[in-house]
Structure 1
C-alpha cells in the first residue's frame, strides 16, 4: 500500500514538485536566517575570542562588554596580581580613535593595546607577518576585515603609514581576527604604544587579563578577585556570553530575524497545505476506491504519512544543502567570515518541517477519512 501511495504522489509531477519547493523553501529560509542570526550575535563576543589566552577578564564594575567599558586606574593591575591563585595578569587597552590614511580618508578604528612582553591579547594567528614585528617602532597590526574597509581592493596594507591622533602608525602585519559586531577596523599594538595613540585621560587601563594556575578553577579565582579588589571579574565563557546578551537585549536583531523565521514557517504551511489539499482532492476517487475494496482508515493515514515523509525528507535535504551552498558561496565575503551552521539549527528546521507536514497532513486527511466508498460509484 505504501508503494501505491508513493506512485500516486509522484504520478502528479506538478503537485509533487510544488510540495518539494514549499518544504525546501521553508527549510532554506529558517535554516539560513537562524544561521546568520547566531553567527551575527556571536560577533558581540569577538573581543573575548580574539584573546584566547585570557581565562579571566577583570574590569570596572560598570563595564558590560569588551566594547562597553569604563577605564580603571593602573593600580588595578597590581591588585589583581596580588590575589592568591592568579598565575599571571597583564594590561589590556581597548579604545576608539580616528585614523587618516595616506590618501586623506578618515576612518574610525578600534585600538587594542596588548601586553608589551607576552603579547597576550593578540589573535592567535596572523594572516601576514609575525607577532615579533610589534617590537619595531610605531608598528600596528590591522585585522584582515579592516583591510577591505580601509584600503582599495588589491592594495597591499603592509608598509602603509597612518596618521593616528597626530601620531604615526605603520602597518606591518595583518591579524586573522574574528570581526567585531560592527565590522569596525581594528588596530593592534603594544600597550605602551597604544597609550600614545589614544587621548590622555586619568584612567586608561580598560581590562586586566589573568590566568590561573594548574588545578585552579577560573570561576573560583574570579570570585576571589572580586572579593579582594572590588573589581568585576568574569571567566572567558561568562564574559563572552555577556557580549552576546548585550546584542540581544539592546538591538532589534532577534525580533527581525524571528519575524523572518516565522514568515518562513507560515509560507511553508500555506504552500504545502494548499498543494497537499489539492493533491488529496484530485485523488479523492482513488482513495474512495481503496476504501471500497476494504482498505481501512488506518492504512489510508499511513499512506498519506508516507507521502508526507517522502516530500519532507527530500525537501528538507534540499533546503539544508541550499543553506550550506549559500554559506560556502559567500565565505569569501568579509561579512560572512567564520560563519558556520551550529548543529542545533538543522534540528530546529527538521522540527519545523515535521510540524508543517503534521498540520497540512491533518487538514488534507479530513476529507479522505470522511469520504464514503459508495460515493465513488454514484
Structure 2
C-alpha cells in the first residue's frame, strides 16, 4: 500500500512539483527572514561581543543599550578601581565622529567626503578593547600609539574610497589593503592617519568603526565636561563576576553587568522598542499563508484527481485508517523534501552573502531549523486534513461510475 501511495504521488509530476514549490517557498521565506532578523539582532550587540578579555561593563545606571551612551565623569574610573574584587579597570570611549577625507569618486574625479563613524577610544596603556590579532588585516596594533593613528574597519572602505578597483571583495588580499596605510582624514580639525585595517563586528547603523587611543579620541570629538562612556573591568579570579558587579553598583551608584547580560539587554531593547519584530513577523506569516495556500490547494486537487484510485482501494478492502495513512505518507514525503530544499537553498544563500561581506548579514541561528520544520509540518497537516475529509466520505462505488 505504501508503494502504491508513493507511485500515486510521483505519477502526477505537475502537481507533485506544485506541492514542493509551495512548501519550499514557505521554508525559504521562513529561513531567510529569520536569518536576516537574527543577523540584525546580532549586530545590535556586535561591539559588546567584539571586545574580549573583560568580565564587566560599567556605565551610567540609565544606559539601556550599547548605543545609548551617557557620559560619566572620569573620576568614576578611580572609584571603580577601588571596589573589592576588581582586578583592573580601564576606560573606553564610544561616540560618533565625523570624518572628512579627500578621495576620488567612481569616475576617478577628486571629491571631498564627510561621513559619520563610530569612534572607539581605547586605554592608552593597555589598548584593551582593540581588535583581536587575527582580525587585523594589515598593520600592527601597537602602531595605534603613533601620532594621529587610527585603525579603521575594512567593511566601509568601498564607501569612503569608491574610486579604487574593488572588484570581488572576497578575492582582495592584504597587498591591496596596504595601499590605504598612511592615508589621512580629518576629524574635528585634527589629522587622523590610517595605520591599520581590521575586521570589526558589523553595527546596527552600518557606520565604519574607527579605533584610536582614549586620549586621542577626546581630541577627535567636541570637548565636553563628561567624556567617559564605559569602564571595562576584569574581576579577581577568586571573586564571582556577579558579586563584583553588585559591589560596584552599591559603592559607586553606577550600572555594572556582565558582557553577556549587557548584550542580552541591548538585543531586548531593540526587540521591544522597534518595529523589527512586527515587520519580520508579517513577512514570515505571509510565507506561511502563501505556502499553505499553494501546497494545500495543489494537494487537494491531487487527491480529487485520484478519488477513483482511492475508491478502487476501498472496494478491494482497504480500510479508512489505511487510506488516511497513505495520505499522511504522501504529505510527509513532500514535506521532508520541501523542507530540505528550502533549508538548503536558504543556508547556501546565507553562506554566500556572509562570505561576500555585504550590508545584509545572514545569521542562521540553530532554533530556526526546528521552527521552520514546525511550520512545514503545520502546512502538511492542514493540507492533509482537507484531503482526508474528502476521502473518508468517499463511497467505493465511485469507481464504477461514468
Q: TM-score range by the shorter chain?
A: over 0.9
SS in 1 for 2:226: coil
Q: Which moved more, 1:262-271 or 1:154-163?
A: 154-163
> Matched residues in 2 for 1:333 and 1:179: separation?
10
The separation in 2 between residues aligned to 1:82 and 1:375, in whole angstroms, is 89
Equivalence for 1:333:
357
Runs of 5+ consecutive residues of structure 2 not aligned to the other structure: 104-111, 167-178
- Residue aligned with 2:45, SS: helix
Which residue number in structure 2 is paired with residue 15 of structure 1?
A: 15
In the TM superposition, what is the alpha-carbon distance from 1:375 to its structure 2 partner?
2.5
Residue range with higher mean Cα deviation, 242-251 or 33-42: 242-251
Partner residue in 2 for 1:205: 228
Partners of 2:359 and 2:180 lie apart in 1 by 19
How far did 1:43 drift?
A: 0.8
Which residue, 368, 377, 402 being the options, matches 1:345?
A: 368
Determine if the alignment matches structure 1 residue 228 to structure 2 residue 251: yes
Aligned equivalent of 1:181:
204
* 1:35-62 per-position Cα deviation (integer Å, ceiling 9, x unaligned): 1101111211012012112211101111
Cα separation, 1, equivalents of 2:372 and 2:74: 50
Give me the CA root mean square deviation: 1.2
Q: Does structure 1 retain, via aligned residues, the 8 Å contact 2:200–2:209?
A: no
User: Matched residue of 1:71: which SS?
Assistant: coil
Match for residue 292 of structure 2?
269
Structure 2: how far apart are the matches of 1:284 and 1:236? 62
Q: Distance in 1 between matches of 2:313 and 2:231?
A: 75
Match of 1:316 among 335, 339, 355: 339
In structure 2, what is the equivalent of residue 150 of structure 1?
Answer: 160
Shift of 1:14: 0.3
Find the partner of 2:380 among 343, 357, 371. 357
- 2:126 paired residue among 118, 127, 130: 118
Q: Which moved more, 1:52-61 or 1:256-265?
A: 52-61
Residue 216 of structure 1: how far off its partner (Å):
2.2
Deviations 1:299-347 (A, max 9, x none): 111101110111011111100111012112222133245x431111011
Matches within 5 A, 1:58-207: 58-103=58-103, 104-124=112-132, 125-152=135-162, 153-154=164-165, 156-207=179-230
Off by >3 Å, runs of 4+ in structure 1: 153-156
Structure 1, unaligned runs of 5 or more: none
Q: Could you tell me how far apart the structure 2 residues matched to 1:376 and 1:20 are?
A: 29
Q: Give TM-score scaled by structure 2 length.
A: 0.91
Other structure's SS at 1:214 match: coil
Residues 151 and 157, structure 1, Cα contact 8 Å, conserved in 2: no
Distance in 1, Cα, partners of 2:53 & 2:358: 25
> Given that residues 23 and 268 in structure 1 are in contact (C-alpha distance below 8 angstroms), is that contact kept between their aligned partners in structure 2?
yes
- 1 CA distance for matches of 2:383 and 2:237? 57
CA distance, structure 2, for counterparts of residue 158 and residue 243 of structure 1: 34
